[in-house]
Each structure stands twice: as C-alpha cells, then as structure tokens.
C-alpha cells in the first residue's frame, strides 16, 4: 500500500457540507472548564506556545499542561520558526522574542515531537481545501487553514486532543469531523 492512498482520501469529499459553516455558540463547544482535569494526551496548537510566551494563557491552561501528557507537532515548530523569519531584525523586542521561541522549542522532549506522515499531510491538504472553499478563506488564511487541518488530523491519527484558542477554525473542523478531540480555551483578558 502506498504512503498516501489518493482514492481513499477522495472519499473524504463527503465531508463537504456544500454550504458555509456557521460558528456555533460556546455552550456547544468543548471548552476547558475552570479547573484542569486529567484526560487525553494533548497535542498543542501553535497559539498555546505564543499565548504562554505573551502571558495571555489562562491559569487553567498551565494547570492542564502540568497534569496531562503533552505532545508537540513539527507543524507548530514550523509556525514558530516562521515567526522568527518574519520578525523585524531592527525591532527592539525581536531578540527577546527569538530567545523565547528558541527556549520553547529546545524544551520539547524529542520523543514527544511528532511529524505528520504522507497520509495526514495529503488528507490535511484536502480538508483545508474544502474548508477554504466553503468558508471563502483568502491568502494568509489558506496557509493557516492548512496548518490547522494537518495538526487536527495528526492529533486524530495519534489519538490525542488538540489544545487551542483558535475557536472559529476548530469549530468548523469539528463540524466536519465531530468525533475528533479538541479542547478550546480563551486567552486571558
């Protein structure tokens, strides 16, 4: 069997609802509660690292990271390194930001970093294409959707839950694939 089965992936066309998806009310979404609880292992979305570095994570996220097994994706590493690339070298805060990102990536245990395989990448690309078309995503939103879809499917393949503050996009993904695991949070005000 090839690393990527195109015919099998094409059957995912059934995921296309043929209409724009509406963002559901918060009470219908899997937000973490005010108290961290044991549960599934987590795969962190890039926003979790960024919110932590910027001090915007609610306390319950730190508590959750303390009690659950944490896993990392090369997708997040890629996005963090992209951030370094777009930072203005002449800005006063750039050196500090690069240092924080470097420290964050260096702290990821090698045995807890996972790389999406050809199947996840291929299906993620198809899923993001569907999402971009039905939601009318343009330009930068398309690349963000591709990364989100790959991370979402990678977590599903590994039996993990994605932890993210990206409520809208992951709500749409959960509408397309409702049996997947996602935990949402809101950034601290």
Q: pTM to 2 decimals?
A: 0.93
Confirm if 8 and 123 have CB atoms less than 8 A apart.
Answer: no
Q: Is the predicted pLDDT of residue 138 greater than 80, yes or no? A: yes
How many percent of the chain have pLDDT more than 70?
Answer: 98
Q: Is the predicted pLDDT of residue 175 greater than 70, yes or no? A: yes
User: Which residues, at least 6 apart from 123, have a Cβ–Cβ distance to it below 8 Å?
Assistant: 9, 12, 153
The mean pLDDT of 175-180, rounded to a whole number, is 94
The mean pLDDT of 113-137, rounded to a whole number, is 94
Q: How confident is the model at residue 54 (pLDDT cuts 50, 70, 90)?
A: very high
3-state DSSP call for residue 113?
A: strand
* 107 assigned to some structural domain: yes
Q: How confident is the model at residue 1 (pLDDT cuts 50, 70, 90)?
A: low
Give how many domains the chain has, as a whole number. Answer: 1
* 62 assigned to some structural domain: yes
* Phi, psi (deg, nearest 5) at residue 19: -155, 165
Q: How confident is the model at residue 168 (pLDDT cuts 50, 70, 90)?
A: very high
Confirm if 53 and 101 have CB atoms less than 8 A apart.
Answer: yes
What tokens does 151 get?
A: 């991370």
> pLDDT tens-digit profile of 63-119?
999 999 999 999 999 999 999 999 999 999 999 999 999 999 999 999 999 999 999
At residue 147, the pLDDT reads 96
> Which helix (H) or strand (E) segment is 100 a member of?
helix 94-106
Q: How confident is the model at residue 45 (pLDDT cuts 50, 70, 90)?
A: very high
* 130 assigned to some structural domain: yes
* 145 assigned to some structural domain: yes
Strand arrangement of the beta sheet that strand 182-184 belongs to? 113-114, 70-73, 42-44, 161-164, 182-184
At residue 171, the pLDDT reads 97
User: Which residues, at least 6 apart from 129, have a Cβ–Cβ distance to it below 8 Å?
Assistant: none
Q: 68: domain CATH number?
A: 3.40.50.1010
Question: Hey, CA dihedral for 132, 170, 126, 115, is it positive or negative?
Answer: positive
Query: Rounded to an integer, what distance in angstroms lies between the CA atom of residue 151 and that of residue 109?
Result: 18
* 92 assigned to some structural domain: yes
Containing structural domain, residue 87: 31-175
Q: Where are the beta strands (DSSP E) in 4-108?
A: 42-44, 70-73
At residue 129, the pLDDT reads 92
- Determine how β-strand 42-44 pairs with β-strand 182-184: unpaired
* 64 assigned to some structural domain: yes
User: Which residues, at least 6 apart from 153, have a Cβ–Cβ distance to it below 8 Å?
Assistant: 116, 120, 123, 124, 127
At residue 24, the pLDDT reads 96
* 23 assigned to some structural domain: no
At residue 16, the pLDDT reads 78
- Determine how β-strand 42-44 pairs with β-strand 161-164: parallel
* 13 assigned to some structural domain: no
């Amino acid at each position: 069997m090839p690393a990527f089965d195109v015919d099998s992936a094409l059957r995912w066309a059934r995921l296309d609802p043929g209409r724009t998806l509406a963002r559901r009310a918060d009470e219908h979404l899997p937000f973490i509660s005010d108290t961290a609880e044991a549960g599934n292992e987590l795969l962190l979305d890039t926003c979790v690292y960024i919110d932590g570095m910027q001090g915007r994570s609610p306390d319950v996220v730190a508590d959750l990271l303390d009690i659950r097994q944490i896993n990392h994706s090369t997708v997040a590493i890629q996005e963090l390194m992209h951030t370094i690339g777009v930072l203005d070298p002449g800005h006063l805060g750039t050196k500090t930001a690069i240092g924080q990102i470097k420290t964050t990536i260096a702290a990821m245990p090698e045995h807890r970093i996972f790389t999406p395989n050809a199947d996840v990448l291929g299906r993620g690309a198809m899923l993001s294409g569907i999402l971009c078309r039905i939601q009318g995503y343009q330009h930068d939103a398309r690349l963000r959707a591709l990364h989100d879809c790959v991370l979402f499917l990678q977590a599903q393949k590994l039996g993990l839950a994605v932890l993210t503050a990206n409520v809208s996009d992951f709500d749409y993904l959960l509408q397309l694939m409702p049996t997947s695991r996602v935990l949402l949070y809101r950034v601290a005000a």
